[in-house]
């Protein structure tokens, strides 16, 4: 290991600090710079002995977070100081009181929000989800906490290469599942895009490299096409004396991959790999008409796709995003997405909430983003006790498309796509939702589960006698509705459980058994419930009969022989045989041999990269690392993840499903089955074939040995005349 050059590092720290000051020079005065210098000096002193995993001085990280906050998000001096200090209380000897004494109440409030929670949480919840929930609780107090946290996450993702493999997967999965959608919701599109691309880079490196290299290969050709496309538009805009900028940019790797997966197409078949953005220098009062004028000029040259017009100027998105989008047919028969917006709109699209504050009061429009933060305040202040449930509910409203619904008085409400009449009721007020009896949509009576469409006018019918039902959770989609329904059901469940406890206490007294803590634990185990609340609730709704309770008492008072016999044979179940004599998959660094099951969502086979996930009821489930559900599992339940790998066991067969598409012809199916059964000697578990208008499609489930064997089979099938596409498919759970 080479010696550390401290002089060189000190110069580099100073350079980074000067770059930070340059990044915020347009929004800081002499007093602001003094505050930033004070925070910088404290951070340098606090972290002087610390180093990152990469070996570089730790102070590089807070300076980088401050630079992102200033340059890429557009935050001011207070936020920059907080970004410099964000790890001081957590990682050094300085206390929160020291920060308050030196910097005052405003900065200390933000630092408290940024300091990670170090309490020991209950083991039945995810630490990541709980930390994320507590972080979100600061959202309604000061949104800067979230913005700085996103800057912190972005820099961590940019420097993730130095982390161990398991840590990379956990952090990247968490980023895709929680942080990228949050950046999107706060209008930070460039940050959201980079988080998604970096998340893909570490969760699926092969796909990321493949798309990245293909984008680089077509870079020159793409640039020529863009120049050719914008040439006539530029000339016409100048003739009309419109001041403008035109930019051409490729779509993100993540969005290209998403489109490939969604439409089952190759990279070459993704037609809109880039977008053209036209930014107009326009006064606030004229920007809408100027944008439509530019749209008119663009469509004079290129024919628009009427189904692809998106007007977010008349009604902005809930994160404040305003823009006019259209897709037009460009030269060489290629579709091109064109985005048209004013300079103000572009600033908000790039910098999100920070830019929105700059324009607050300039326009009469009330911020949709402010409305959203106000709407979720109730959800944040009354979360479910289970942090994972809370995050799942909250996430529903992060990445959703929007619809616009009118009240009977003509007020406009924004809801996520697929929202129901009941969601609308809760959107008006929690009490309206709880007492919702029915709804009228456009004057017609509809069920509560009726899915709304943009432009619907909805009237809610209420009754004080109405109470939330468990079935409501099946069709509501907003986090506010879900949280309020769960909360109401929980209160009702507690009331029923309280009555149930009195019932069981009375019945046990007749059977000469006292209800104490030990008896309660035995009852929970005997009736296979999770908590005492579930147990007493079952008694409250008369789900457990008198004879079943007598059976429990009989076992409790019986000898050891009867107890063991009941444990083995009760319910017709027997103790499962251990797989320890069948060593196929080993776990963790010690290569432990444990019981496991293969997950049906991705059907891993020998040779696939895998991990173990500890479930509540089914023990360890084995998933592929690129399983459709792996992002959510790694993000929400990182503490349940086990390292796993295959050992040699070539004689064991595994299930794999392949999808075959091609041009139909006589004898094609015979050729396929001949290769599978006769040449490769593979057993077919199931086969499902359909043909329509000359196109053949089939799904075949096979027993194979490993990935190499499956790839070899696919190669042989590809050579059959008429077969155009073969891919392995998975099921979502």
Active site residues: 90-91
- Reported in sequence order, the residue ranges of 192-332 that DSSP labels E, i.e. its strands, are 244-250, 274-280, 303-304, 310-311, 324-329
Phi, psi of 149 (to 5 degrees): -60, -40
The length of the chain, given as a count of residues = 733
Contact 432, 483 (CB under 8 A): no
Residue 12, classed as helix, strand or coil, is: helix
SS3 of the chain: helix, strand, coil, percent, to 5:
50, 15, 30
Helices (H), 331-478: 343-351, 353-358, 368-381, 387-395, 421-428, 430-434
Measured over the CA atoms of residue 323, residue 326, residue 331 and residue 332, the dihedral's sign is: positive
* Nearest CA-CA partner of 327 in 350, 294, 299: 299
* Nearest CA-CA partner of 154 in 134, 129, 180, 130: 180
Q: Cα 18 from chain centroid?
A: 36
Q: Say if residue 30 is exposed, middle or buried (CB neighbours under 10 Å; 0-12, 13-18, 19+).
A: exposed
The structure tokens listed for 427 are: 């959107």
The structure tokens listed for 661 are: 């598409």
CA distance 555 to 527: 13
Pairing of strands 641-646, 683-692: unpaired
The structure tokens listed for 562 are: 């009867």
Element (H, E) at 45: helix 30-46
Q: What's the chain's Rg over C-alpha atoms?
A: 30
Residue partners of 674: CB distance under 8 A and separation at least 6: none
Helices (H), 416-478: 421-428, 430-434
């Amino acid at each position: 290991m080479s010696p550390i050059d401290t002089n060189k590092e000190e110069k580099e720290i100073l350079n980074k600090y000067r770059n930070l000051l340059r990044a915020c020079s347009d929004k800081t005065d002499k007093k602001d710079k003094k505050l930033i210098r004070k925070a910088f000096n404290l951070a340098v002193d606090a972290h002087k002995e610390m180093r990152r995993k990469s070996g570089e001085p730790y102070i590089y990280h807070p300076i980088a977070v401050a630079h992102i906050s200033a340059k890429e998000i557009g935050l001011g001096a207070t936020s920059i100081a907080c970004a410099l200090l964000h790890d001081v209380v957590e990682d050094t000897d300085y206390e929160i009181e020291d920060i308050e004494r030196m910097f005052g109440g405003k900065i200390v409030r933000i630092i408290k929000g940024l300091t990670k929670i170090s309490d020991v949480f209950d083991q039945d919840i995810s630490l990541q989800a709980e930390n994320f929930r507590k972080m979100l609780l600061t959202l309604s107090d000061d949104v800067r906490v979230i913005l700085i946290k996103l800057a912190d996450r972005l820099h961590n993702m940019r420097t993730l290469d130095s982390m161990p493999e398991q840590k990379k997967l956990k952090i990247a999965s968490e980023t895709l599942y929680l942080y990228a959608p949050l950046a999107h919701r706060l209008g930070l599109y460039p940050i959201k895009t980079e988080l998604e691309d970096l998340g893909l880079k570490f969760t699926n490196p092969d796909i990321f490299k493949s798309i990245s290299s293909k984008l680089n290969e077509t870079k020159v050709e793409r640039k020529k096409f863009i120049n050719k496309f914008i040439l006539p538009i530029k000339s016409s805009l100048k003739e009309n004396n419109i001041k403008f900028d035109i930019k051409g940019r490729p779509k993100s790797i993540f969005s290209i991959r998403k489109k490939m997966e969604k439409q089952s197409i190759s990279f070459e078949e993704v037609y809109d790999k880039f977008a053209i953005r036209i930014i107009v220098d326009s006064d606030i009062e004229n920007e809408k008409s100027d944008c439509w004028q530019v749209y008119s000029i663009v469509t004079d040259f290129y024919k628009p796709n009427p189904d692809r017009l998106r007007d977010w100027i008349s009604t902005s998105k809930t994160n404040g995003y305003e823009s006019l989008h259209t897709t037009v047919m460009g030269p060489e028969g290629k579709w091109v997405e064109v985005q048209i917006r004013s300079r103000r709109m572009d600033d908000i699209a790039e910098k999100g909430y920070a830019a929105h504050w700059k324009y607050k009061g300039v326009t009469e429009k009330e911020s949709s983003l402010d409305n959203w933060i106000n709407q979720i305040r109730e959800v944040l202040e009354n979360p479910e006790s289970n942090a994972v449930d809370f995050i799942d509910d909250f996430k529903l409203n992060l990445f959703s498309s929007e619809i616009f619904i009118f009240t009977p008085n003509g007020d406009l409400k924004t809801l996520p796509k697929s929202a129901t009449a009941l969601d609308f009721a809760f959107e008006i007020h929690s009490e309206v939702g709880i007492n919702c009896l029915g709804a009228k949509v456009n004057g017609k009576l509809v069920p509560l589960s009726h899915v709304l469409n943009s432009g619907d006018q909805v009237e809610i019918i209420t009754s004080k006698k109405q109470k939330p039902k468990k079935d409501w959770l099946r069709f509501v989609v907003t986090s506010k509705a879900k949280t309020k329904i769960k909360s109401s059901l929980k209160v009702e469940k507690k009331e029923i459980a309280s009555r149930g406890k009195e019932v069981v206490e009375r019945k046990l007294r007749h059977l000469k058994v006292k209800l104490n803590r030990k008896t309660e634990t035995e009852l929970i185990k005997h009736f296979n419930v999770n908590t005492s609340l579930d147990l007493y609730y079952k008694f409250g709704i008369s789900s457990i009969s008198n004879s079943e309770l007598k059976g429990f008492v009989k076992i409790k008072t019986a000898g050891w022989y009867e107890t063991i016999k009941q444990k083995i044979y009760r319910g017709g179940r027997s103790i499962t045989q251990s797989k320890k004599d069948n060593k196929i998959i080993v776990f963790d660094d010690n290569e432990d041999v444990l019981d496991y099951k293969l997950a049906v969502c991705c059907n891993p086979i020998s040779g696939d990269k895998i991990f173990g996930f500890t479930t509540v009821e089914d023990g360890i489930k084995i998933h592929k690392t690129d399983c459709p559900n792996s992002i959510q599992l790694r993000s929400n339940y990182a503490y349940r993840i086990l390292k796993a790998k295959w050992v040699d066991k070539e004689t064991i067969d595994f299930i794999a499903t392949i999808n075959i598409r091609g041009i139909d012809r006589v004898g094609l199916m015979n050729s396929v089955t001949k290769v599978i059964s006769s040449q490769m000697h593979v057993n077919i578990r199931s086969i499902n074939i359909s043909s329509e208008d000359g196109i053949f499609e089939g799904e075949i489930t096979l027993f194979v040995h490993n990935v190499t064997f499956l790839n070899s089979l696919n190669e042989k099938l590809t050579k059959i005349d008429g077969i155009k596409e073969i891919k392995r498919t998975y099921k979502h759970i």
